[in-house]
């Protein structure tokens, strides 16, 4: 997993509440578990005027010119600003995979659905919850300054944008893992030597468990 320390990027304002995971990555794309290739299908139903699937060539599809990620400069956005209850609906991890594959490193919202929030930390996307007042201020700044950037510092737990600084809270354990780029597998592999030693010892003590059937 890619570590998150300090990130500065373009902020895309997605002014919608209750964005569910089927909107983030529609159901027809759940056939693959590769974790890559989902970026072109992020918000698929909103980004395109015709329906597509994994087999459909993106070049043959018509973009919706009114959707924020289809407009310049937001095609290069790496920070998503949105409204409350982002990531609600089904628990598909593909939603975070699509955000990460598009290039989104951070999502800022007043609140998140719990499972989506947890999945973000397992895939290197930083979810930041701010007050409604601060979210409103960021939206106002983003509309005033097309192409607004923000600097997100996980060490300091701050966001700097439009000449203002916003502080955010985050669980200390999750913060530590994000800074180190450790997901659940990475955390387990920190104990690889002990795991190998255990397996070797177990093979000697109970060899019948390791016989070929």
> What are residue 6's DSSP bridge partners?
153
**Would you state the CATH architecture of domain 6-182?**
Alpha-Beta Barrel (3.20)
Residue 186 scores a pLDDT above 70: no
- Position 58 scores a pLDDT of 85
Residue 213 scores a pLDDT above 60: no
- Position 168 scores a pLDDT of 98
Average pLDDT estimate for 54-77? 91
State the Cα–Cα distance between residues 186 and 191, nearest whole angstrom: 9
**pLDDT band with cut points at 50, 70 and 90 for residue 185:** low
> Structure pTM?
0.87
- Position 189 scores a pLDDT of 62
Region of 92 on the Ramachandran plot (φ > 0 left; ψ -120 to 50 alpha; else beta)? beta
Average pLDDT estimate for 116-131? 96
Average pLDDT estimate for 66-80? 97
Which residues, other chains included, contact 207 with Cβ-Cβ below 8 Å and sequence gap of 6+?
none
Residue 191 scores a pLDDT above 70: no
Average pLDDT estimate for 135-161? 97
Q: Render pLDDT for 1-43 as a digit per residue (tens, 0 to 9).
A: 889 999 999 999 999 999 999 999 999 888 877 888 899 999 9
């Amino acid at each position: 997993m890619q570590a998150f320390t300090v990130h500065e990027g373009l902020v895309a304002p997605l002014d919608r509440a209750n964005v569910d995971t089927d909107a983030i990555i529609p159901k027809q794309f759940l056939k693959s578990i590769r974790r890559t290739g989902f970026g072109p299908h992020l918000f698929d139903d909103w980004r395109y005027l015709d329906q597509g699937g994994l087999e459909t060539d993106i070049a043959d599809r018509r973009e919706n010119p009114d959707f924020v990620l289809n407009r310049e400069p937001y095609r290069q956005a790496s920070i998503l600003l949105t409204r409350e209850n982002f990531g609600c609906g089904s628990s598909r991890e593909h939603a975070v995979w699509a955000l990460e594959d598009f290039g989104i490193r951070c999502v800022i919202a007043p609140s998140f659905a719990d499972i989506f929030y947890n999945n973000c930390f397992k895939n290197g996307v930083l979810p930041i919850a701010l007050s409604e007042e601060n979210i409103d201020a960021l939206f106002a700044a983003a509309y005033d300054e097309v192409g607004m950037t923000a600097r997100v510092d996980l060490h300091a737990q701050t966001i700097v944008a439009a000449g203002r600084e916003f502080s955010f809270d985050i669980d200390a354990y999750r913060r530590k893992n994000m800074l180190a780029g450790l997901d659940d597998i990475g955390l387990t592999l920190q104990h690889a030597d002990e795991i190998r030693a255990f397996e070797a010892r177990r093979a000697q003590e109970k060899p019948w468990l390791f016989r070929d059937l």
